[in-house]
Copies of this chain bind each other. A is one copy, B any other.
């Protein structure tokens, strides 16, 4: 039943022919049901909802249409971009699977995300990330000028600047997203949450592996700047506004400018939860204050 509010469980046993595809279908059915409900209650928005969601037969068509119309310009036509996105999403199921994981990440972690369709239509971080995945695929296929042109459109339209070579996992939440910069050799694991104004930047003018590596389940607070080929361990937490130039061990918290580990360099405090999923930005406040002052 598409309008049921709890999705099918996503277990390790799910195979592509079974669970994962089933999950995609469930999310798409939810999106259509939400859009139908909203179109009925708000006629002024119905045209928008039909053109972006309700007229489409699949999630890949819907998102290709939406991205094509968002990212087009007078010199890069929407029809060209639509074709490009649709071809990518149709040829490579992993893209759509990541899209669905990101939709679920937004819905579960962001209390302001009231529906899947809200994220699909309105979240610039979500949209930038999906467009990046297509740009990354083009990069891997050695279609680099096209990948770079796409990066540029994403940077103009969403103010999110991700190099097409950067590798990004699934279940990612780019919350608010304005100003995010992710460099060429950066790697982001699964189930990571990154707030706006976050930089995963390089060092110097020499090429090579020079950007951060972010482990699974990491949470990076607003305005954090992480520079250089440093390793942020899985489940680590980076405080808002931090400037991180060092490795951060798994399940520890780094804060401040320059960032230091909460609990001290030698024996940093370890937390139990997965901050990329719990989105707990501030529980370390008292601890931090104690540490600093």
Contact = CB atoms under 8 A, between A and B. Distances in A.
Interface stretch (A5-13, A14-22, A111-119): A111-119
A157 to B, nearest CB: 6
| Copies of the protein in its oligomer | 6
A91 interface: no
Contacts of A79: 65, 68-69, 78-79, 82
A281 B55 contact: no
Contact of A121 (B118, B149, B283): B149
Nearest to A110: B205
Contacts of A228: 281-282
B223 A225 contact: yes
Contact of A77 (B42, B74, B199, B288): B74
Contacts of A283: 203-204
Contacts of A75: 47-48, 51-52, 66, 69, 77
B55 A227 contact: no
Given A197-B179, A293-B260, A278 B42 contact: no
Contact of A204 (B49, B143, B223, B282): B282
Chain A contact-residue range equals 35 or more
Contacts of A124: 152, 155-156
Interface of A: 38-39, 41-52, 54-55, 61, 65-66, 68-70, 72-80, 82-84, 108-112, 114, 118, 121-124, 143-146, 148-149, 151-152, 155-159, 161, 163, 176, 178-179, 181, 183-184, 195-197, 199, 201-208, 210, 221-223, 225, 227-228, 239-243, 245-246, 255-258, 260, 277-283, 285, 288-289, 292-293
Given A161-B196, A241-B242, A260-B293, 17 more contacts: A47-B55, A51-B75, A69-B74, A109-B205, A111-B208, A118-B145, A118-B148, A122-B152, A155-B176, A156-B157, A159-B159, A181-B196, A204-B278, A204-B280, A223-B223, A257-B257, A258-B289
